[in-house]
Structure 1
Amino acid sequence: MSEPIILFLLLTMKYFNLEVEITSVNADNLDKQNCSFKLSWQDSRRLSATLKYPTKLIENYARWQNAYHNYYTQNSRGKVIDEGDIPAPEIDWLAKLNEEQKTLVTEFNEWLRDKNLYDIREEIKNATNKPNSHWIDIFLSCNSEELARLPWEAWEISGSFGASGKIRISRTPTNILEKPVQPIRRKARILTIIGDDNCLNFQADREAVKSLSQMTNIQFIGWQPGVNIDELKNQIWQAIADSNGWDILFFAGHSDETNLTGGQFSIAPGVFVSINQLENPLKIAIKNGLQAAIFNSCQGISIAESLISLGLTQVVVMRELIHNKVAHEFIINFTQSLAAHKDIHEALLDTCRIFCQTEKSLTYPSAYLIPSLFRRPNSELFKIEPFGFKQWLKSYLPTTKEAIVLLSFLIIAWQLPMQQFLLDWRIFVQAIYRQLTGQNLTNKTPPVLLVEIDNESIRKAKITDTTIMDRGYLAKLVEEISQSEAKIIGIDYLLDRFNGGESDRLLATALQTAVKKQKWIVFAKYEYGVNSEFASLNWSLEGDMTVLGDGRYLTTIDFSGSNDLTFASMLALVYQLNNDNKYNDLLLPNLESKNDLFNQLSDYLEPKKVVKNEKLFSPAARLNLLTILSYWLRQMWLHPIVDFSISYDQVYDSIPAWQILESNNSLIRDKIKEQVVIIAPGGYENAGVKFGEDNIEHPPIAFRDEKLTGGKIHAYLLHHFLTNRLVVPIPDLWMILMAAFLGKSVILILNDCTDYPQKHNRWVVVFAVGNLGYLMVSLQVYISGAILLPILSPSAIFWIYFLLNKRMRSHGLCHGYTD
């Protein structure tokens, strides 16, 4: 049962502790003895009452007991008598027993209907009328043997037996020594000990227990003719103390009460073992999860009290002698109720109700008065939980606190700003790891040369208005770069407006001159493309300059049309075609061309099946369906990111524009042939489509260059396309759910480990080492496999689950309880 459900039951279920004691003891005058009743319940309220000692009731009990023993004189599971059916006695003991039973129950309830007990009875009955109330449990303890033997389960608090609705009575010893061990979630395990069957047939007991085999694990052990007694004892000792543990200990055979040894039961002809003798293996069994014991044998009060004192939470016994056939009938009906997944107390009540039915009451008179459940107050009753996929799934339902923590983490992880924050720090840690392990990229020449028009270049060129960059200055840069061996020139400036001035005409001329020198020109565009007065798309290309998430996310490739390519991906396409020997017959830009250049490239590549099969670029460069669907949820699941853990000097060379114009290319001549040249703003104040938009105000923590600009982002994007460095981030949301599942799995496993509390610190070390291992694997997988695994959020959720479980165990609230 999941923790929230059990919490609800505990909150709605009321229980009472009822202590019944003999006071004013006077052995010479029984009439002067009194019985004290003390009722207490969950809110520490108390009621008390005093009744006269029921001398007449005790005498009635003795007469009933005599009739009961005489009727069931043969085949009891106490003293061994020859086998046979219930004989036809000379005295009609059946009639006698029925008469004495009626007298006993009537006198018992008359005594308990005394006016002095009115407040106690009313308090108990009123509890059944409250909404959402479950069972009303009464935990009864008596300080004298004669009171304990009375049939308290037959107390008609709100009607006849079986009509008390939600009230049920269980017994508890007056002194409980050991603390109980919380139950373990697992497929129920039953150890069945079959005693001496020389005079009794226990086959019905075997079959009844076997009927539970599909939903439990069962082991039988017991005496066989010819078995050495010492060897049998050793087998029983070892079986009880099995490290796999048990949930129920079932015994069928002879048993008896003893004053000093906690009761005893027979394991072989003439051989009895006491509970005291089994104390050590029983303590081990309790530590390994033993919750309940069922003794389908005679006179088990001292056995039950001893087992509860040792740490068991519930024990079913027979308070009197029990005939073999009654025992058979009892265990058959009892196991049927257990098989219906009823708890052990409900199963006991069901069986007693069956004995109350007319047919059964005639065959087995008074049998319903014999069974009793001894139970620790407010302990969780054992029941055979359904075992299968649904139950396995149900066990993973979070507790109240786990649900609060998990929901909080999921809500936080859903927020894009928080995702960006975690992403920044994750890549920063990755950059440190990359540097410490020396796993930097080995390419000697960065694929990009950034020619940046910075503040110094503007000052030297005496440009006064940078709202629209001086087209004449751009013309000078194009002319200078055209004289080098650079094949590709990217212009990260919008040229969608042609003013017709001298500087505009100079730029148009410079661009045409570059094309005549077989240079590829790629323009950045925003809403509108390059103005045709500057350049024709018949001999130039353009791509969208938009960046995602302040440059943190990759702008992906779509080859369905030129309008869908980004600035960086268009540059990457041209670079790939110009640097692969397979495309030696590639057409070159031609000022005389009448057709769109990108369409010409598409026609050229179509027969080669290159673009559509994505042979030029990694498949990760194209959006997958899951990522597209996540956009509808305002998420970016599995959307590739820009890897700022790579040092900028491995991605691009940068040079101020003024140095290009003044150095006669001496600074770049050696490398420029292998590079894509991008002319871009270099961080001046009002660069961008909107004022200052080109300058990223809050760059990623891992980026170590002076300023992050749009041009540098395009350089990173181009680098990633050319090197197939497309890092796919696993969403924090997913990993939080996986960590919660792992944490819950660990909790369930540890809760099955009986030595977990003693080895808690050892497990902390194990998980800390495991967490460190996950950290190292995550860092290396990022570099080797281009997959980003979140570290902080899944680690935090795992440890919170683990620590919540530790706190629950320290309060005794695991395995079905929650605080």
Structure 2
Amino acid sequence: MIYEFQRWLRSVELYDLRAQIAQVSQELAKAKPGTTEVVQVFLSCTPIELSRFPWEVWEVGTEFATAGAIQIIRTPLNIAAPTVVTPNKPHQGRARILAILGDETGLNFEAEKKMLKSLLRIADVQFVGWQPEKTAAEVRQEISNAIADERGWDVLFFAGHSNETEMTGGELGIAPDASLSIREIAPQLGAAKKRGLQVAIFNSCSGLSIADALIDLGFAQVIVMREPIHNSVAQGFLVQFLQGMAKHLDVYASLMAARQFLRMGKSHTYPSSYLVPSLFCHPGAKLYQIPQFQWQQRLRQMIPIRFEAIALAVSLTLGVLTPFQELLLDTRILTQSVYRNVTAQIPSEEAPPVALVQIDTESLYRAGIPETQIRPMNRSYIAKLLDRLRTLNTSVVGLDFIFDTPQKDPPSADQDLGQAVRRAVDANMWLVFGALLEPTREVGTNEALGINKWNWTLQGYVDAYPNFVELPDADRDCRKTCPFAYLLSLVQLANQEMIGLPQPQTTRQQNLRAQLLDVIQRQHPQTGNLSTLWHWRSPFGLQPLIDYSIPPSKFTPRFPLGN
């Protein structure tokens, strides 16, 4: 169904509309180079059946190769109340979150509670909701009073069961066999909005009428699940969404990160579940993000608890004793692993930032690859892998192979790989090839083979010590020699946090790596992960260790090519 829907979105009938949206994005990028502004496309659907379609798959920017970002945001057709753009209340420098936990029948809210409590260092979180000793009337009154709290809220969160009801604006299951309609609490919601409520998040099923009702009341932003969704999917979405909010991303960026998690982690068991969460906005409202700390709050967050302080002091003392570093390295890694296990810090469900595509024995057997074409690996086979990644809309790909000499077996290997590379590049895929490091240069893919060109692909060296994270040498220019994994991370973060980047295209005439690094150096954000990575320097000359205490499956899932 999604394929047919995407096909219709790319139809001739909608070409003029797509072209107009793309033109606005291109004009914005030209008028304001390096701007963080984006083009927002607000979609209104009626009847409600049209709202169930996954409009978020509309890839206007990809079709027209626009440099600026295009956001697809939903909004009701009719809105009665205007949104009140209330300045973020300081709340003593911290955001305030009201978490309503409804009927838990068939559900388990432990993951939601744990993730919300993890925000306590940057926000005040209050829980209300059903408990076995409370009656439905008591729960209803407690929820109403909490919403209308005179101190106000920034974020309203609900977890539980919900239903679409056109007449009452949707119903929330607050206790077994008891529900609360949006119409019943409309006065309290209106008061909360006037006191600064910015975002409402409903981690429950069938929330379209809830979103329409709240936006109609003048709410700025509402996140709902359009369709019934499995509890494990809803929990995974919430964990990743709140992690984005904790990093001070706005609600749209946090939603996109959560969707990416569902797409990567749930695609086999719950296909297309990543398209169920939807953002509804009041036109003109500014996307909410938890405000950055003042220096007092930042200092309080950085102060470790007693056990953390002891472990940190011991680790630092041992770490600065250079003669003993090699001797104590294994002990330090073991201690870190034990500490992480004892404190239960191994993430249970988190968006994997990296996916390793494993060419395993079974995949080679199915493809009929003879042993003579394994070392070096059959490049025609790598070309098929690259084509498959392109169909999955993968944005950044690293190829940890050295293509420095021609391959004669099979005879068409270099040509097949070269054609696959060109198809990927023209689909705006960032390709990073592996190379070996020599004293003053990198030796990698030979352009004479016709596989690639450095005007539209990247290269990074794969040489590294087994226990340390390889970072650029402060005395070297990364435009000439740059670590493979570092370059991959840099490209990924730049695509997430910047606009106006040079785009991979086979028609380019300038060196892509040099131009990319020039743009990042001039225009990179002053805060965020990209800024941290760009400015990172080893303290006291100590190289960061690879964290072996986290199982590889938690951050680098493997996908056999045969699947």
Q: How high is the TM-score relative to the length of structure 1?
A: 0.34
Q: How high is the TM-score relative to the length of structure 2?
A: 0.49
